[in-house]
Amino acid sequence: MDGVVTVDAAYVATQRPLLESLRALLTATQGRPANFGCFGMHEWAMVYRLGEDETRHADWPLRLGPEGTDAVVESHRVACSHFDAYRFFTEPARPLNTLRPTSADRPAFEQPACLHAGMDLYKHAFRLTPMVDSDLVADCFELARDIRELDMRAAPYDLRDLGFEPVHVETPEGKQEYVAAQRSFAERGAPLRARLVAACERLLAVAPADVVG
């Protein structure tokens, strides 16, 4: 039909391992209770006990300085559930995390309030192209863009010269602001995650395991 693009079932069959792994991860995340108590400490743990010239974004100063930043980390319960955030923790920060996520056990840890899990919806949707519609990819991108702004505003860096006012997660007021935004993103992410799960299931149904190879 004019204006309709289809993907060959043989191609979908080659993507079965990806589809199965994404469905497992997304359904596990979907079914886990949301944790709104992290307060963005993952970004702070990435600079814990580093000098300002040693951080990943050394062009931007730490808002509270190195000692103040370290004190914030030490005064919080760090509970990062996302491996792609945890793997950038400094060595002194790793033992402070109450969880030990790895690249191999993501379904056992990821939860729907995590900012990185929300941003990852775009990554998952993009990996599924051209098997999913572009509207889903675009919707996931918009969510990831908005989450990333909060992620940076709540980070220890001073980004006001870029137009980003900080979310002061080291204060009670900042925590409230962070959690309110986090809840909003979790609510926006839930239907997108469900759409991705449905897409994986639909594609797996047309590419049964015995088609592969």
Q: How does pLDDT run across 66-95, given as a tens digit for each residue?
A: 999 999 999 999 999 999 999 999 999 999
In a domain, 20, yes or no: yes
Average confidence (pLDDT) over 36-47: 96
Residue-number span of the structural domain to which 77 is assigned:
9-211
pTM for this model (two decimals)? 0.92
Q: Count the domains in the chain.
A: 1
**Strand, coil or helix: 193:** helix
In a domain, 3, yes or no: no
- Binning pLDDT at 50, 70 and 90, where does residue 58 land? confident
In a domain, 161, yes or no: yes
C-alpha–C-alpha distance, residues 120 and 158, integer Å: 25
In a domain, 190, yes or no: yes
pLDDT at 71: 98
Q: Per residue in 101-110, is it b (16+ CB within 10 Å) or e — as a string?
A: beeeebbebb
65: left (phi over 0), alpha (psi -120 to 50) or beta: left
- Binning pLDDT at 50, 70 and 90, where does residue 183 land? very high
In a domain, 1, yes or no: no
C-alpha–C-alpha distance, residues 9 and 106, integer Å: 28
In a domain, 2, yes or no: no
60: left (phi over 0), alpha (psi -120 to 50) or beta: beta
Average confidence (pLDDT) over 41-49: 97
Average confidence (pLDDT) over 136-160: 97
pLDDT at 8: 87
Residue 1 has pLDDT above 50, yes or no: no
Q: Where are the alpha helices (DSSP H) in the chain?
A: 9-14, 16-31, 41-45, 65-74, 83-86, 115-127, 134-153, 172-206
C-alpha–C-alpha distance, residues 165 and 46, integer Å: 20
SS (H, E, C) 58-77: CCCCECCHHHHHHHHHHCCC
